[in-house]
Structure 1
């Protein structure tokens, strides 16, 4: 296996300040302390560019990696005309227009062991699924649609035809209208023609893609190098799993949910642990993260408390595009860049509450990280269902509520919230199977109203 890498910054060569400023200038009614969700997503999208480091990996290790170039098929798939099923192959011109068709069976074609020799009109061959179609044959009838029998014929016993001997030979009868001309034949290049793009750049490779690559004889595939993401939690009250839980302290759950979400995206992960609410400690952590990663994610430390020093570090080491969003949960959310050794790293400062961390990641950081990886993710699919509960909602912010889908006997779907929607109730995320998305200007939802949901399956 060969490996080839090309270093590249996560952002364009122009300064991160000009990039963020340009993105912000395109947003109307910009307010870094109260930005609508759609505006924040637009700023992030405009500030993100993919990394440009490529490596070649064996297809067995390419699952979930991002394809770096278009894959051009070197061959036709299938490589030859073949049968789509077990049956009998013959010339369509042999079919009788107004009655049954009688054909003599002169041979068999297997996958990997084709029939040799010509097949004349009035003749057929037994053929198996995937077996090559002999030249001139264009139609296959399934074996269950024919009547097969052995019949006696007389044939010459020598070259002069001086004597005739009876002989039993196989025949098939095809009822009128049982098959149409050209049926059940797979054409060479029908699936993929030589020179055509088999897989497009930016695709996240799935199991079927690995099979397609193997069918083309491709053993190695160029992929984007894995995105390097450093993350840490901030807070003097946090304790790691395994440590004693002092009065007033809590176990740090956010690093574990972040670890799981980043692993699902296929990132290379740098876990910097828990960093104290101390400017010096934060500066060391941020510089280390920027030196070694393409993106930095923190949880906690982005609100307005006296001990929240992240904003100070942002002003000192980089630039911030926004701090607060018109959303729930996750109002305190920072986005910007951190610079170290003239290398910018994209920064996401997520809230400290566990549910807010997950919501902020899925609706802001996830899409940005996929774009940095060189992927071209499709928008998350929204499903329209009816609300089974009254949902209170004030206009002026986007809300993401945890929901449970209900399938009724009629086949209709509805959804109800999991219950209390506090951003610290992580258990509700384990109970939910979807997120109810309530738009910025939406008001209270009545029972029976239509709402939009995003399924966790495929997201989480």
Structure 2
């Protein structure tokens, strides 16, 4: 057996690279930026108003109070997208809407709540008058040009994982496309003669197929584009034909089943026939068997990841081994998920020395102490998916160790 860290390093070193692509900003959420994005203009590009109100010369408002307001002549209204056709002079003002360019000559904006229009006012019409009820300091109510982004500034650095707010930043600097590592096209192929896919009655020795929908959903959460390759029999020729067909459309193929120690495990046999095979016994519980190969696709190398068939083993090996590989290929500087030092509310682990680190499925909560607390779900065997479905994290328990209630334990959030 090899340690999990060594298995991960071996796999990441073998992962083929993918070429960057230019994607429309609206389609780039959660993708990784390839190159720095530099602003070609300032944001905002001009001085503008941050409130609805009146653009004034602050000196005109120094004596303004509720009881003795200052009255100013209104030159008209400036909406967002329009421009004042003459400057503000002493004793005069423009009514302005939020986002409107600041009229020349003005050095402050009095918000409308601190003004009063005379009865019958046309709300900003030229020739009207407004009463200023409080003094305004110079600069009040104004967003200066470049106060968010300066021309030539790097707004997003290479390696940034785009989130919705980043997409807004790209829009603000006029970017319509962004160079990113694209989403991987990942095929999911489940193997096993015993699997029933139509929900029909089971014959002796058969089970309902359960891994395919789970893996497809995990791939969506990993920001990949999953492709359903169906369920293959344990016939080596059939499996090889399916894999060769999938290589034309996929960057990665994820298989489930057929990678354990059995004499007739087909995925191992096919990968050995088709090219390079790396078969590992990883020192973790569950999900010890794992296989991968890099095959020569028609246009680019294709990575094949062979997960074990037991449902929980398939889930855990995807989270701990396959997902980091996919993230690495999509440009993530940190391919591994976050970990949290939590407190065990119940005993975790088992007094079994088998050379493997246990990853127990646990439920987490934030305690009154502000820390993460976890407790195990009922049913920790590799086939007990219904019990594991409620878990939201994996707790790492070293070999031959029991974590007692109240002790610290390292946990990894799921998905």
Shorter-chain TM-score range? 0.7 to 0.9
CA distance in 1, matches of 2:336, 2:134: 51
CA distance in 2, matches of 1:190, 1:43: 47
Measured against aligned partners, the alpha-carbon deviations of 1:325-362 in whole angstroms (never above 9, x if no partner) come to 11122111123323456953222111111111112112
How far off its partner does 1:203 sit?
4.8
**Aligned partner (choices 124, 130, 133) of residue 170 of structure 1:** 130
| Structure 1 unaligned spans of 5+ | 1-33, 152-166
Q: 1:116 to 1:454 in 2, by over 3 A?
A: farther
CA distance in 2, matches of 1:35, 1:347: 20
How far off its partner does 1:60 sit?
4.5
What is residue 374 of structure 2 aligned with on the other side?
A: 415
Q: Where do 1:233-272 residues align within 5 Å? A: 233-272=190-229
What is residue 35 of structure 1 aligned with on the other side?
A: 2
How far off its partner does 1:196 sit?
3.4
Q: Where do 1:383-402 residues align within 5 Å? A: 383-393=340-350, 396-402=355-361
Give yes or no for contact 2:73–2:91 (8 Å, CA) kept in 1: no
**Aligned partner (choices 8, 13, 18) of residue 51 of structure 1:** 18
How far off its partner does 1:195 sit?
3.6
- Higher mean C-alpha deviation, range 288-297 or range 74-83: 288-297
How far off its partner does 1:150 sit?
6.1
What is residue 265 of structure 2 aligned with on the other side?
A: 308
**Aligned partner (choices 81, 84, 106) of residue 115 of structure 1:** 84
What is residue 436 of structure 1 aligned with on the other side?
A: 394
Give yes or no for contact 1:49–1:371 (8 Å, CA) kept in 2: no
- Secondary structure of the 2:349 match is coil
TM-score of the pair, normalised by structure 1: 0.74
Give yes or no for contact 2:364–2:373 (8 Å, CA) kept in 1: yes
| Structure 2 unaligned spans of 5+ | 120-126
Give yes or no for contact 2:190–2:230 (8 Å, CA) kept in 1: yes
Q: Where do 1:109-258 residues align within 5 Å? A: 109-120=78-89, 124-144=93-113, 146=114, 148=116, 169-174=129-134, 181-201=138-158, 203=160, 205-258=162-215
How far off its partner does 1:168 sit?
8.7
Q: After TM superposition, what 4+ stretches of structure 1 lie above 6 angstroms from structure 2?
A: 99-102
How far off its partner does 1:437 sit?
2.7
What is residue 122 of structure 2 aligned with on the other side?
A: none
- Higher mean C-alpha deviation, range 124-133 or range 205-214: 205-214
How far off its partner does 1:128 sit?
2.8
**Aligned partner (choices 405, 412, 415) of residue 454 of structure 1:** 412
- Secondary structure of the 2:406 match is coil
Q: 1:353 to 1:106 in 2, by over 3 A?
A: farther
Give yes or no for contact 1:102–1:122 (8 Å, CA) kept in 2: no
Residue correspondences, number: 403
TM-score of the pair, normalised by structure 2: 0.82
CA distance in 2, matches of 1:409, 1:227: 41
CA distance in 1, matches of 2:60, 2:324: 59
